Structure 1
């Protein structure tokens, strides 16, 4: 208690005594035992009230014995299934040891892909994440002294490499290495690296990492097959000092769909584990070719120039169409280029309006301006003007897409008979017209976007001359082709207006990360977290059909399908009470990475133990572990003192004493007739 507080208490006692003497003895002739009792009660009540106002604080010490935590982390993965009996007997022996129970507070956990309290052991987990188990233990038992007994084979399939974890100094790890420690000659496919997607008719890269454990020189053949068809083969050599090889090649995507890529390496003589000699990966080949239709009723070199320029990108395919082309053929087109439209284009324009397809209109001296003005409302062009030559001038403030790289130096003029042009507020000029060196208030190329469709209008023919001039200038067509390409990219990149979007993988390797996610937006395209999203999944053989609600995860919905058996599935994601749904299909392949291991990885466990001042042990050394835990002075229980500072106002007895003193004083005065 502080000196200042003690002085206040003394002062309170003096004040209380002064008030009592003044009230009961100053100028009073009645004295006796009653006065002494009443003055004492008054002193108690006044002094108690003043003490409550001062509110001194008292220190209260609590003492307890704190034991060291003894934490058992048990690998529950299928790679040690064959050692199930041994692991359970070791755990039983250690956790029921009376001496250990007296010295330690024992905790038990199991881990595979996830970390959980140990209720029972199944040894069916298909992934092992040792680093996550250690880091989670560190977070749970932070600021406490702990010893960790890690029962595992040391083979980790996912997560951060546990060998180099930097754990806190107050955690000591004692790994017990489970499984065969013998090193066998083994050759294996360690990893396959490839892109998840490829475009049709493109080449996609494949990279394969092959490792060899052995001392002799061997030559083995590696084979890469796509959907069972051999696409690549190479003979590679390994030795003790050359134990790892990376094979890189490019394969061609010849057809659309999910393709199975199987990599196989020849087995060694008398190799014990041949499961890891074969590995499968998957790639989805998609046809993202943009189909562009140039519609024209006349022959003109501009048409061939546009076709060549656009098709420099292999993901674009251009078709030359007549205005009378059937609707079935028009349905295959993603973007229309309307070259010098006239009245025969009526059906084309009606189709574009109905299907809301983007378009590029190129006009010239043979354009029917009356028809063009009548068939659409975005621009109006005055006709009956003479043919004139116009050269381009870049609009430096154009903002729809980047055109800063385009240079139109020495480009010859285009021909047009368009008069003044009026266009709506959603328009922006890309190029402006210059006639005889004079800037006129007319666009040569204008871009329109009404949030539903995009349109580009080009007022001038003989574009073919620009491409020829570009070759004269630079000996290549790149500058011109890139400019046309940017216009095409703008017109073919539509905004995603889907309120329901679903993301999933077409193939899942085993049950690892088998999840389907979805986002749903309301009418204002704001994420709707109150929606109820359901997934209906059915085996392709239609043997079983289940409906699962998706869980909200911040700004998306998710469902885990890891519990499904390996098979092919179709699914439908739907919004409850809304007319929105998306369908898809996926496959779960039978693959267990835990089967790739033959021996325990005691070297990494040794490193982990050394870094934490622990010790690597084997099942036959369990007695040594018990002795180490019992004799190590770092694990001695400690006495912990907890200091609690308690204000006087928390002492109810003082409040009761004040109330009792005032009450008793009132009754005595009433009884004696002193009121």
Structure 2
């Protein structure tokens, strides 16, 4: 440790302090020394005490500090990440992974601990501290790597060891997700790369919502390994009643077939369907893959959506794709100048970049307001901002010049009109939207889904929000470029889950009944067994204000009639409750609350299903693990190479401890002993003068 004395004032004040102290001492003890009757020794002693007191006080007036520089050595951190997904124990080596394998991990951690700090974590559907069980229903490498990218794990990371079978079924590509990690990655290749004999339902494709009287398609993908020459029967059931059967003669060693069925939607509500595979001559190594359930909600009527546009734009195709993917809606789109139909037959009107410079919609907008139809405005470079402002909607844009900002979305956690499953991190790599440059009016926080983030600056300008006026619901998207999000999301995640949720939940909110129900219960229709059951609820008073003063109760009923009572918790103006995990089955709920003299009730259903995603692919992907290690200066090892893995990490000269230098500034005035010294000096001087009779 090195220490240096410093002062916030100039040290040139030291001579002045010394001179002042000498002057005071001279006047007090030597100017008229012959009148005091004290000896030279007594005078010099008193003078020394007084000078020392003045000098210390003078030094303290300079606000001195002591700067210390400390050096400490921080060990490198080795992170061991264990894949805890079910796929590892669904193979023939399940006993090894449950019994011997954890002990081998402990031995390796102990050996590495002699030189490094070792942290053990697990990953699957979520990341956490390591607890053996192999019960995770998903494998998501992206969540693992985000711990380091978001600095949830901090310190001198020396290396990451990933023990996995390489089977990925959630999140973006591990190679892409790990591209920004700067430390070596070692992989421990687990699982079996050899396919096992058996058949499996790989995927069931269907629309979650249909309408009574419709025939709806269901596509079932079936695979079979090492079953050449055998027959598979594919059966579809509705509420345990067989609807259809197709026979598949297996004609190859690695067989795959996609079957299409047409089913009738006869009864409204939630309908339980299942697909089963049967083979008389084969013993399946993984029979859990041979049956899957899926659920379809059958409604009475479709809602019609009208999309009017000024000119063609890629965003229109995005809206069309997502709306037409849901059978609850039927989309019709027209160029605004060519539309001549009746507005009253539509449930929602999307005005894409309208009113425009070429079409102010002078005749159409009064018709829309007259029939009180909800409107979704999408603002873009074709929009006439002046004409839009003249509509006097909840969004007003002050613009002097026709310029546009590049804006990324900033998710508003206080948004409460519907439940969003995404977070700000979901949009980190999304390209910006083109938004008019200008001033935006503020909107209520609860109705704004996204604010604008401009060049890394968070603003309160609304980007995506909702409003209600004169019994009409409005939605506003203040920028164009959704097609870029659509393409980027597919590139990163191989799906369109986020853009699909944004578009469909926006439409669902706008087309729902404008009149607020006093009690609203929110819960997804279908949930996986391993995930907690979360209810959200809203209660409105007669003035349509959110309140949560009364206690809200709910009963959950299983298929056997057992009743589980709960009471909601209160959060700001709404309610929520987490009732934990439930067994697989169809559940009913009955919620009730007393609002004044009225007892409000709401009923509904939800389904808890077993997640089969880990059963669908049991062939280990060691090539992925090899690539991941190779691209990050590491190596791939197998469970019989524990010693080699440990030895190579211990001998890796690139994994070094870090010397941390810490500077610390300490004010001298903080030391209590200095005041004790001052008090002692003043007391000594007074005592001596009193004793020698000078006072």
Band of TM-score, shorter chain: 0.5 to 0.7
Distance 1:515 1:402, change over 3 A: same
Tell whether the 8 Å contact from 1:515 to 1:560 is kept in structure 2 after alignment: yes
Q: Unaligned regions of 5+ residues in structure 2, if any?
A: 304-327, 331-361, 374-468, 473-510
Aligned partner of residue 669 in structure 1, secondary structure: helix
- Radius of gyration: which is bigger? 1
Aligned partner of residue 604 in structure 1, secondary structure: helix
Q: CA separation in 1, counterparts of 2:583 and 2:512?
A: 39
Q: Find the partner of 2:369 among 384, 400, 404.
A: 400
Alignment match, 1:336: none
Alignment match, 2:119: 107
Q: What displacement does 1:572 show?
A: 1.7
Q: CA separation in 2, counterparts of 1:591 and 1:395?
A: 49
Which residues in structure 2 correspond to 1:262-661 (within 5 Å)?
A: 262-263=274-275, 272-273=285-286, 275-276=288-289, 278-288=291-301, 397=366, 400-401=369-370, 494-512=513-531, 514-529=533-548, 532-542=551-561, 544-552=562-570, 556-575=574-593, 579-661=599-681
Deviations, residues 186-231 of structure 1 (Å, cap 9, x unaligned): 7654433433222212354545566788999999887766555446
Q: CA separation in 2, counterparts of 1:128 and 1:565?
A: 21
Which residues in structure 2 correspond to 1:202-281 (within 5 Å)?
A: 202-204=214-216, 206=218, 227=239, 228-230=241-243, 251-263=263-275, 272-273=285-286, 275-276=288-289, 278-281=291-294
Q: What displacement does 1:533 show?
A: 3.1
Q: CA separation in 1, counterparts of 2:600 and 2:668?
A: 66
* 2:186 is the alignment partner of 1:174: yes
Tell whether the 8 Å contact from 2:74 to 2:156 is kept in structure 1 after alignment: no
Distance 1:528 1:605, change over 3 A: farther
Q: Find the partner of 2:142 among 131, 144, 158.
A: 131
Aligned partner of residue 213 in structure 2, secondary structure: coil
Aligned partner of residue 191 in structure 1, secondary structure: strand
Tell whether the 8 Å contact from 1:66 to 1:640 is kept in structure 2 after alignment: yes
Q: Which stretch shifts more, 631-640 or 260-269?
A: 260-269
Q: CA separation in 2, counterparts of 1:396 and 1:257?
A: 36
Q: Return the TM-score normalized by structure 2.
A: 0.60
Q: CA separation in 2, counterparts of 1:650 and 1:519?
A: 55
Alignment match, 1:430: none
Tell whether the 8 Å contact from 2:550 to 2:595 is kept in structure 1 after alignment: no
Tell whether the 8 Å contact from 1:177 to 1:619 is kept in structure 2 after alignment: yes
Alignment match, 2:62: 54
Q: Find the partner of 1:93 among 88, 102, 107.
A: 107
Q: Return the TM-score normalized by structure 1.
A: 0.62
Alignment match, 1:70: 78
Aligned partner of residue 74 in structure 1, secondary structure: strand
Q: CA separation in 2, counterparts of 1:402 and 1:217?
A: 64
Distance 1:252 1:527, change over 3 A: same
Q: CA separation in 1, counterparts of 2:583 and 2:171?
A: 24
Q: CA separation in 2, counterparts of 1:15 and 1:216?
A: 107
Distance 1:10 1:580, change over 3 A: farther
* 2:14 is the alignment partner of 1:9: yes
Distance 1:230 1:71, change over 3 A: same
Distance 1:35 1:162, change over 3 A: same
Q: CA separation in 1, counterparts of 2:629 and 2:293?
A: 35
Q: CA separation in 2, counterparts of 1:532 and 1:611?
A: 56
Q: What displacement does 1:573 show?
A: 2.0
Alignment match, 1:152: 164
Q: What displacement does 1:630 show?
A: 0.9
Aligned partner of residue 654 in structure 1, secondary structure: helix
Distance 1:16 1:639, change over 3 A: same
Q: What displacement does 1:42 show?
A: 1.4
Aligned partner of residue 594 in structure 1, secondary structure: coil
Distance 1:73 1:211, change over 3 A: same
Q: Find the partner of 1:18 among 23, 42, 61.
A: 23
Tell whether the 8 Å contact from 2:532 to 2:581 is kept in structure 1 after alignment: no
Tell whether the 8 Å contact from 1:534 to 1:547 is kept in structure 2 after alignment: yes
Tell whether the 8 Å contact from 1:164 to 1:608 is kept in structure 2 after alignment: no
Distance 1:395 1:276, change over 3 A: closer
How many corresponding residue pairs? 489
Aligned partner of residue 400 in structure 1, secondary structure: helix
Q: CA separation in 1, counterparts of 2:82 and 2:273?
A: 35
Aligned partner of residue 593 in structure 1, secondary structure: coil
Q: Which stretch shifts more, 272-281 or 620-629?
A: 272-281
Q: What displacement does 1:283 show?
A: 0.9
Q: CA separation in 2, counterparts of 1:111 and 1:403?
A: 50
Q: Which stretch shifts more, 145-154 or 1-10?
A: 1-10
Distance 1:143 1:109, change over 3 A: closer
Tell whether the 8 Å contact from 1:189 to 1:278 is kept in structure 2 after alignment: yes
Aligned partner of residue 580 in structure 1, secondary structure: strand
* 2:116 is the alignment partner of 1:116: no
Q: CA separation in 1, counterparts of 2:251 and 2:680?
A: 96
Alignment match, 2:335: none
Q: CA separation in 1, counterparts of 2:542 and 2:171?
A: 41
Q: What displacement does 1:571 show?
A: 1.9
Aligned partner of residue 121 in structure 1, secondary structure: coil
Q: CA separation in 2, counterparts of 1:225 and 1:554?
A: 45
Alignment match, 2:686: 666
Q: CA separation in 2, counterparts of 1:394 and 1:77?
A: 60
